[in-house]
Structure 1
Amino acid sequence: MFPYALRSIVLLLCVASAQALTLDEALVAAQNYAPDLIVSRSGAAAAQSLTLSAGALPDPKLSFAIDNLPLEGEDQYRIGKSMRSIGLMQEFPNAGKRAAERQIATAAWQASSAQYRFAQLNVQRATTLAWLSLYYTQEKDQILDAQVIENQNSLNLSRAAIAGGGTVDSALAAQLETQQLADARDDLNSEIQQARALLARWIGPDRAAEPISGSLPVWQREPTSNDQSDQFSQQPDLHAASSQISAARAELALMEAGKRPDWGLELALQRSDMGQNQAMVKVSFDLPFFTASRQDPKIAAATANLQRAEAEKTARSAGYRQQYAELNAQGNALNSQLQRLKQQTLPLIQKQTELALAGLQSGKANSNAVLEARKTKRVAQLRALDLTSRLAAIQAQIFFLTGGH
């Protein structure tokens, strides 16, 4: 029994010396660590910067020109015998184009911001699920610890019985249970390592190595709305889809504005070879004559993109409704199984274990029946924890899905 007592003391000392990680602390750590948020945050910042220049006039152009430069004769290549000019030109896209460009940039920024919030939501959900997984693996560890203590007691009793002239059946059965518990311990250690690796993905390996502590959250499910589209209205993914629709509409407006001409203005100062100063004013206009082969195909493509964006939002909404229905169905089934296990199965197993112990004490049964009853009890307890863990994960997903966050 000494190795197990020593193990428990060491475990308690480690837990006391280490900082315990609550769910709230894990969520805060994820906001500061998760690389996905850094990517989305940078994308939103870049999109916001582009809104500052959207719809602005093109840069003006400065021009220098030499006209009538002699290439032959006595004045060959003499700039003083040519017409020299310096000019400034500014192009003016039509107002529809500039307004559409501003709308596109604003919609892109809104979509990027919504994607950032969507990434935040995903990180919160993933961190919560990883924390819950680790929490329940630690609960399983306590069940195995209790079984190990019971097994050690059985080994001590069987050895004492052998010393008093009893059979070795009890000792063999207890040793077999020891091997089974060792296998279960290996499986559980693997689960714990996987759960910590998953949590480290979001909060970093140092924080994920801390023991889990704190109470479980109480999930407040959002009230069901008659209009299911309202139930998921807080989903950033749908906000991003709406922004993408706005961007597609602005793109269509930009293509349609291509049918209206842009214009440009150029001012120049000239000096002739006679030393006379002159001025030049030039106005230019685009001539969108061939719209059937130039602007119309672009308008058709923008119209198709708008239809695609609207269809994508509809598909996302349908996906959320399907996911919500599936989670509810799974949660109802798990809750029914868990209640049946707690209210009916576990009491029956406990009674079976007590009868086996009573039979062993009265000499009417052997230790195999006791060990088998304990194994059945351990399996049922672990199954109850597994059902509880899966149900908590589903409740968390519904909580995040319906905007409870």
Structure 2
Amino acid sequence: MRFCIPTIFAAAIAITLPVQADLRLQDAVAEAIHSDHWARSNNFQEQALRSQALASGQLPDPKLRLALANLPTDTFDFDQENMTQLQVGLSQQFPRGDSLKIRQQQLGQQADKGPIQRRLRAAKLKQQVSNRWLKLHALQEQLMLLENNRHLFQELVDISRANFRSGKARRFEVIDAELQITRLNDRITRMQQQDAVLRGQLNRWLPQAMSAESLPISLPEIKPLLALDNVSALQSAVQSHPQLQLLAQDVEIRQRGIELADQAYRPGFRLDTSYGLRDDMPNGRDRADFFSVALTFDLPLFPEKRQDAKRNAAVQQREAAREDRLLSLREYEAELHQAISNYRGLQQRLAIYNQDYLRQLREKRIAAIRSYAAADGRFSDVAAAAMGELETKLMKVQLEHQQAQMITNMNYWLAGADPLLMANEGEVNP
């Protein structure tokens, strides 16, 4: 029991103690997409457009006309004159051709852009949050690396002081060794300041308590969405990018504009009906009531400067939308190929770092320290070797995170094949 009771007591304390949560990359991205106020606003705008589309497909409200016609001004008697009547009229305007239906379709297509716009927004959020998170993780890892290598520079201070006491070194070498520690502390302070700035930038998308959490120690594995040697799949994914889908939707909307302009060549008309109530004659003889109906047409007899010009403008707008989509497609493909080239270049550089480069620098630093401790080397060589090894380690961390950022950027251009965005398309939280 002497062994079991303390063990159980320690386990109970461990259970009650709060566990420091880590801000994982996938959690940060999911939270940013989940709590995006822009997506909610976009959803309201989509619903507004759908309501406008429903309203635009309806006929205009009929107009009711009430009139007292031909009332004599000498007596103002309703039964004095034959033409005096109480008129009730109803008129209805009918737009040209299928213009109502086409306008409703056009607004419906604009509303259909809403889910695509939210998917594009989610793709941008994923890219931006991931890049900020990776920069923050690189800083955190580099700060840990500086702290863990502080003992190397402290060792230089100790060796230089020992050599100074034994007459093997001069005073400026001790000062130079102490300056290395000061520079290290200054660098750590500057990086901590950058850490605070990056966390402040994450507050744009994440709650402050969440962005203040520490990050996992290890860098998560980030993979390209598609195999980089599958050219056809890459092209298909780029063509399915949400931004290009929006541009394709704009082409369709412009096409509806041409169809709407075509309806201007067809006549519109208005139907007017009226009923005139007449009173009996003073002698009691009955007067017949009047009923009238009229059909009014507007005829496009001279279309050259109105209908033709509007249709030509609609055609030019559609062609401009097509060219915009083709231009964006070419730019996106170029951006993807550039990102792939940079990614492969980083792979080659990291292969050099992961082979013998760091081991050789470590051996060089150890040899330089031993020579200086034996008064057989220069302090500048020792400081250069120690700083060179540290800078190389920091550069390796930077390259690893740049590679992850490059994959994140590639995945943005391949957003058309991202299952995370497919799952979130059209989903808006209340």
TM-score, normalised with respect to structure 2: 0.82
Q: Which residue of 1 aligns with 2:220?
A: 216
One-letter amino acid of the structure 1 residue matched with residue 199 of structure 2 = R
Give the deviation of 1:253 after TM superposition.
0.2
| Mapping for residues 304-323 of structure 1, pairs under 5 Å | 304-323=316-335
Equivalent of 1:25 in 13, 23, 27: 27
Q: Does 1:242 pair with 2:234? A: no
Q: Which residue of 1 aligns with 2:191?
A: 188
Q: Is the contact made by 2:168 and 2:375 (CA closer than 8 Å) also made in structure 1?
A: no
Give the deviation of 1:256 after TM superposition.
0.5
Equivalent of 1:396 in 408, 415, 427: 408
Deviations 1:282-340 (A, max 9, x none): 22222111211221111011011010111111111011111012112222222222222
Give the deviation of 1:366 after TM superposition.
4.5
Q: Which residue of 2 aligns with 1:13?
A: none
Q: Is the contact made by 2:163 and 2:373 (CA closer than 8 Å) also made in structure 1?
A: no
Give the deviation of 1:30 after TM superposition.
0.6
One-letter amino acid of the structure 1 residue matched with residue 350 of structure 2 = L
Mapped partners of 1:210, 1:324: distance in 2: 33
Residue 101 and residue 369 in structure 1: after superposition, are their counterparts in 2 closer, same or farther (change >3 A)?
same
Q: Which residue of 2 aligns with 1:177?
A: 180
Q: Which residue of 2 aligns with 1:199?
A: 202
After TM superposition, the structure 1 stretch with the greater mean CA deviation from structure 2, 338-347 or 388-397, is: 338-347
Residue 207 and residue 259 in structure 1: after superposition, are their counterparts in 2 closer, same or farther (change >3 A)?
same
Q: Which residue of 1 aligns with 2:351?
A: 339
Q: Which residue of 2 aligns with 1:260?
A: 266
SS of aligned partner of 1:258: helix
Q: Is the contact made by 1:88 and 1:268 (CA closer than 8 Å) also made in structure 2?
A: yes
Q: Which residue of 2 aligns with 1:12?
A: none
Residue 36 and residue 397 in structure 1: after superposition, are their counterparts in 2 closer, same or farther (change >3 A)?
same
Identity of aligned residues (%): 20
Q: Which residue of 2 aligns with 1:87?
A: 89
Give the deviation of 1:160 after TM superposition.
6.1
Mapped partners of 1:358, 1:165: distance in 2: 17
Give the deviation of 1:29 after TM superposition.
1.6
Residue 332 and residue 154 in structure 1: after superposition, are their counterparts in 2 closer, same or farther (change >3 A)?
same
| Mapping for residues 45-84 of structure 1, pairs under 5 Å | 45-70=47-72, 72-75=73-76, 82-84=84-86
Give the deviation of 1:276 after TM superposition.
4.6
Task: Give the alignment's Cα RMSD to 1 decimal.
Answer: 2.7
Q: Is the contact made by 1:62 and 1:86 (CA closer than 8 Å) also made in structure 2?
A: yes
Deviations 1:343-375 (A, max 9, x none): 243222112112112213433225443332111
Mapped partners of 1:344, 1:45: distance in 2: 61
Residue 331 and residue 61 in structure 1: after superposition, are their counterparts in 2 closer, same or farther (change >3 A)?
same
Q: Is the contact made by 1:112 and 1:240 (CA closer than 8 Å) also made in structure 2?
A: no
Equivalent of 1:272 in 274, 278, 297: 278
Q: Is the contact made by 2:362 and 2:389 (CA closer than 8 Å) also made in structure 1?
A: yes
Q: Which residue of 2 aligns with 1:137?
A: 139
Mapped partners of 1:25, 1:221: distance in 2: 19
Mapped partners of 2:85, 2:343: distance in 1: 86
Residue 153 and residue 45 in structure 1: after superposition, are their counterparts in 2 closer, same or farther (change >3 A)?
farther
Mapped partners of 1:66, 1:29: distance in 2: 68
Mapped partners of 2:214, 2:57: distance in 1: 54
Mapped partners of 2:167, 2:181: distance in 1: 23
Deviations 1:3-60 (A, max 9, x none): xxxxxxxxxxxxx764321112111221233344344333333223323223221222
SS of aligned partner of 2:294: strand
SS of aligned partner of 1:211: coil
TM-score, normalised with respect to structure 1: 0.87
Give the deviation of 1:141 after TM superposition.
0.8
Equivalent of 1:383 in 368, 382, 395: 395
SS of aligned partner of 1:19: coil
One-letter amino acid of the structure 2 residue matched with residue 73 of structure 1 = D
Residue 231 and residue 32 in structure 1: after superposition, are their counterparts in 2 closer, same or farther (change >3 A)?
closer
Give the deviation of 1:126 after TM superposition.
0.9
Q: Is the contact made by 1:44 and 1:116 (CA closer than 8 Å) also made in structure 2?
A: no
Give the deviation of 1:395 after TM superposition.
0.8
Q: Is the contact made by 1:34 and 1:201 (CA closer than 8 Å) also made in structure 2?
A: no
Mapped partners of 2:101, 2:47: distance in 1: 22
Q: Is the contact made by 1:69 and 1:79 (CA closer than 8 Å) also made in structure 2?
A: no
Work out the number of aligned pairs and report it. 389
Gaps of 5+ in 2: 1-17, 281-286, 419-430
Q: Is the contact made by 2:65 and 2:90 (CA closer than 8 Å) also made in structure 1?
A: yes
Q: Which residue of 2 aligns with 1:10?
A: none
Q: Is the contact made by 2:97 and 2:267 (CA closer than 8 Å) also made in structure 1?
A: no
One-letter amino acid of the structure 2 residue matched with residue 318 of structure 1 = R
| Mapping for residues 364-379 of structure 1, pairs under 5 Å | 364-379=376-391
Give the deviation of 1:273 after TM superposition.
4.5
After TM superposition, the structure 1 stretch with the greater mean CA deviation from structure 2, 139-148 or 258-267, is: 258-267
Residue 162 and residue 52 in structure 1: after superposition, are their counterparts in 2 closer, same or farther (change >3 A)?
same
Mapped partners of 2:168, 2:194: distance in 1: 40
